[in-house]
Structure 1
């Protein structure tokens, strides 16, 4: 089949590239001509393991193309996939401006029957609006399909090619065989439902996963007070098949382009029909509070942060991505700067993106994790990149002004910390080490 994918962000680019792998011809469209030029030079605008190799292979084999000409691309396609962004408005509602504009342009460009498939995450009822917009801009027949994505940044290609399930929302049974053929080879677990249910499935799934994260973080906070170890608690819980082990890793909360946006949007969706989603509101509140636990532990360890030097390991919201949208690191670094700390930051991939969003004279940009630790009063680990697992912690401790490590992702085990000379604090686990005669209060004075 011939596909046009509108939008070359994570969803659009990964989906477009992966659909070429089962024999389709795909054109990925974006208004940003500079981005298109880079893609045609086989340079990905996003960091995603494996994406550039797939772009190069499929460009060379003629199954993949990139263009800024939406009209021509739509006319040459059987299926048009909407994969533009739906960012949050200040109210928390999804901003539908981009997808509505794309729908109007698609309608204006159509020269015959098309299937319009929405992969963007959109509130319930949005596909009906898309139908109305397209119908107002074309005399030609078309069908609407809702096929929300469930990919995770950092493993987006694997998630697309080997999904747990594929959700297809339709209102015309005639398009079901086409949709099954399009996804052939990915999985046989295809759920075909009505369009509104498909839209809701995406929000409900992300809201539930966000709830698991906030739940285990609340358990972690209790564990610290009663002397339990949240990693052992989570392991015991996760072995229950009714619960499962995924998303039970305690830390400083979720971030990124999906969970924060989608939880807020679902709260608004509920509010728009006069329903107060009390549970999800609490999930969001817990997540917001959790990231500032890092500051509490810093205050407990070194007292005032004014003039302190604090190393920050990790700026991306999760490893294996350069995405810093809604990253806990943003608010933590801003808070450290506000309290007068000198902040030495390191991230192996996301530093440039972070710096574009936030820079300050009190921030020192480091090229190695050891550089961020050297001379620091404490190091805070905010993203569990694998590079941090290979650090010589004992050597690092010897270079610090105060050997304090606050692990916001529970990356290290007790065995890795013992004998390093570090004072180690994590999330929901007993603290380790410490300096003989060291008093945070005395230091603060």
Structure 2
């Protein structure tokens, strides 16, 4: 299948690369000429395990290419993914300007039927607004599909290649079948593809994020209560997570929640007064603690993810502080 992905950020680059890996002809397009130039040279602007190798292989085998010519990319493809960012505005609402700008660009470039897939995280009702925007600018036939992403930083390639579920928001049966065909290689083990109306598909993304954030926020509050009462949140977590009605995932307290913006180089610790751990990435689970200690001015560790053993850290000479754990 011939596909264009507009937006080469985290979601767009991972999605486009994985779609190429399954045999599709994929064009990743972006208005950022510098980013496209770097991608053409094999430089990956984000860190994601396995992504660099997939990009290089699919580029070398002519299934994946990068361009700033969005109009030409749209003309050459049947399926167009919108994967641009939707940053928060000062009032907290999503800035949909980039999405609608891409929709206008697609409308002006269309010369035949297209399936336009919204991969960006957007509020409920955006599918209809994108449809209205394009309808006002072209007489060509098209369909708009809502296809939310559920990628986790650090496992995004695996999440796309082996999704727990795929959600397709459309009321058009032919479009639904085309999208099922596109995703069929990724669900060969039987994981479900759910076809639903666009509004329900859009809401599913927000509902999932809200539920996960609620679990983490609850555990953070519970950790504070444990500190005040002398309980150990790690022990409480085990008792809580073995309840089948609750489950053990996303029950790890910490200092809020967020993405992978932790420095990759331990040299950044040189002369530091304290180390604050805010990630659970594997490369930070078993570091060379003697080296870490030797580079720090004061061996103080604030373990915001509770991944280190308190007793071991103190035996190694660190002043250790966890979240909701006994001192």
Structure-1-length-normalised TM-score: 0.69
SS at match of 1:3: strand
User: Residue 271 of structure 2 contacts residue 297 of structure 2 at CA under 8 Å; is this kept in 1?
Assistant: no
Q: 1:17 to 1:119 in 2, by over 3 A?
A: same
CA displacement 1:307-328 (0-9 Å, x = unmatched): xxxxxxxxxxx3xxxx47xxxx
CA displacement 1:83-112 (0-9 Å, x = unmatched): 011110001100000000000010000001
Indicate the residue corresponding to 2:264 in structure 1: 348
Counterpart mapping for 1:182-261 below 5 A: 182-187=182-187, 188-256=191-259
When the two chains are superposed, the root-mean-square deviation of aligned CA atoms in Å is 1.9
SS at match of 1:124: coil
CA displacement 1:165-197 (0-9 Å, x = unmatched): 000000211211101000012124111100000
Give 1:51 shift.
1.1
SS at match of 2:194: strand
CA displacement 1:20-42 (0-9 Å, x = unmatched): 12221100000011111111111
Give 1:382 shift.
2.9
Q: Separation in 1 of the partners of 2:133 and 2:38?
A: 32
Q: 1:2 to 1:399 in 2, by over 3 A?
A: closer
User: Residue 148 of structure 2 contacts residue 201 of structure 2 at CA under 8 Å; is this kept in 1?
Assistant: yes
User: Residue 2 of structure 1 contacts residue 77 of structure 1 at CA under 8 Å; is this kept in 2?
Assistant: yes
Unaligned runs of 5+ in 1: 257-317, 325-346, 350-365, 432-445
Counterpart mapping for 1:63-212 below 5 A: 63-187=63-187, 188-212=191-215
User: Residue 147 of structure 2 contacts residue 201 of structure 2 at CA under 8 Å; is this kept in 1?
Assistant: yes
Give 1:391 shift.
4.2
Q: Separation in 1 of the partners of 2:295 and 2:179?
A: 58
Give 1:418 shift.
4.0
Q: Separation in 2 of the partners of 1:391 and 1:27?
A: 39
Give 1:10 shift.
0.7
Unaligned runs of 5+ in 2: none
SS at match of 1:185: helix
Give 1:207 shift.
0.5
Q: 1:402 to 1:19 in 2, by over 3 A?
A: closer
Q: 1:10 to 1:397 in 2, by over 3 A?
A: closer
Matched, 1:367 2:263: no
User: Residue 117 of structure 1 contacts residue 147 of structure 1 at CA under 8 Å; is this kept in 2?
Assistant: yes
Matched, 1:16 2:6: no
Q: Separation in 1 of the partners of 2:177 and 2:157?
A: 24
Q: Separation in 2 of the partners of 1:75 and 1:156?
A: 29
The count of aligned residue pairs is 324
SS at match of 1:184: helix
Indicate the residue corresponding to 1:412 in structure 2: 308
CA displacement 1:402-429 (0-9 Å, x = unmatched): 5432211212113422422333211000
SS at match of 2:184: coil
User: Residue 271 of structure 2 contacts residue 296 of structure 2 at CA under 8 Å; is this kept in 1?
Assistant: no
User: Residue 81 of structure 2 contacts residue 116 of structure 2 at CA under 8 Å; is this kept in 1?
Assistant: yes
